[in-house]
Amino acid sequence: MADQDEGGNLLHQISRRASSLSPALRGVADVILANPEDAQSLSITELASRAGVADSTVSRFLRELDLDGYNQLRLGIAQAIYSRPAAADQRATWVYEGVLRGDSREQILEKVLHGSVEALHRTAERLDPAVLDDAAERIHAASCIYFAAMGSSATSAENAIMRFVRAGKRCLFFRDQSIQSMGSATAGEGDVLIAISDSGDSTPIVSSAQIAKFHGAFVLGVTSNIDSALAAVVDSVVLTAGTVASSDVYGESVTGKWGQLLAIDALYATYAARYYEETADYLQASYLAAIKPTRGTGSTH
């Protein structure tokens, strides 16, 4: 993201430069400056609509400000919102998504909760039922579902495996990145690879997606960044809402994963509803074989 001056932030930069922008770009700036809190939760399409311009105009706005991408714009807005006036030698330190050094326990809980709820709401708004329906159909026809994920996104992949294995689907996921790539090379026609990356720019995940697609597998990307390298490679994209008040240092947060988990559950629910009869049979069989024996004699859960 563009460097910020010693006493400024992204909103200050936008305000200073607004008058020199073209009318279309100035319209984007006006929407952001009028209500930064609202603007930081908008998708690129929603921001463009508010400004009465095309998505490509917002992309030009990002380039004009030397921003790396739309997530960097939302990050900069969030940082500006949460910044606190202080002497240069006493400025609060950014330690987590919207959380500053010195925040009270109550403030920390409120900010983390707010970020989590917002991530769920924004993801629900971005999920496309048609994309989920098509993905569910391809998963049903697949001989095997492969997963590519790293870092905390691996948790989302493991959640998906638990869902789909119980529904009777064969799944493969290796935490080792080299083996992930090898596994992707064994995928072929009739297989599905689900590549999960919040940023969409994790090189190993993009590579696995490219390999699987080269070998004929259907590749589904789960990412918050429609302009990412992953989104450009895959056959279909399930869009989530990623972190908006984080940084490269603190990017591996739970807030960014709520969107992934919601998207995975929505995909599974779509699959289970469409193929109810066989899914119900597999759920019953897996419960009797693997879950019921682990429960205490008097347990009803």
pLDDT tens, 18-51? Answer: 767 888 898 999 899 888 888 888 899 999 999 9
pLDDT at 274 over 60: yes
pLDDT at 4 over 70: no
The answer to whether residues 232 and 213 touch, using CB atoms and an 8 Å cutoff, is no
**Mean pLDDT over the full length of the chain:** 83
Q: What pLDDT, on a 0 to 100 scale, did the predictor assign at position 300?
A: 56
Give the pLDDT band (50/70/90) at residue 1.
Answer: very low
Give the pLDDT band (50/70/90) at residue 87.
Answer: very low
Give the pLDDT band (50/70/90) at residue 79.
Answer: confident
Can you read off the two tokens belonging to residue 136?
């569910």
188 Cβ contact partners less than 8 Å away, ≥ 6 residues apart: 215, 216, 217
264 Cβ contact partners less than 8 Å away, ≥ 6 residues apart: 156, 159, 160, 163, 222
In the predicted model, what is the mean pLDDT of residues 239-265?
71
Query: From CA 173, how far away is CA 167, in angstroms rounded?
Result: 16
Bigger pLDDT: 242 or 41? 41
Give the pLDDT band (50/70/90) at residue 90.
Answer: very low
**138 Ramachandran zone, left/alpha/beta (phi>0; psi -120 to 50):** alpha
Given strand 236-239, what is the order of strands in its sheet?
Answer: 171-173, 145-148, 192-196, 218-223, 236-239
Domains within the chain, CATH numbers bracketed: 1-91 (1.10.10.10), 124-292 (3.40.50.10490)
Count CA atoms closer than 13 A to 256's CA, side-chain side: 29
Give the pLDDT band (50/70/90) at residue 148.
Answer: very high
3-state SS, 226-240, equals CCCHHHHHCCEEEEC
Query: From CA 156, how far away is CA 262, in angstroms rounded?
Result: 9
Q: What pLDDT, on a 0 to 100 scale, did the predictor assign at position 8?
A: 46
Distances (CA, A) of 94 to 109, 117, 249: 15, 21, 10
**Can you give the pTM of this predicted structure?**
0.68
Q: What pLDDT, on a 0 to 100 scale, did the predictor assign at position 267?
A: 97
H or E element at residue 173: strand 171-173
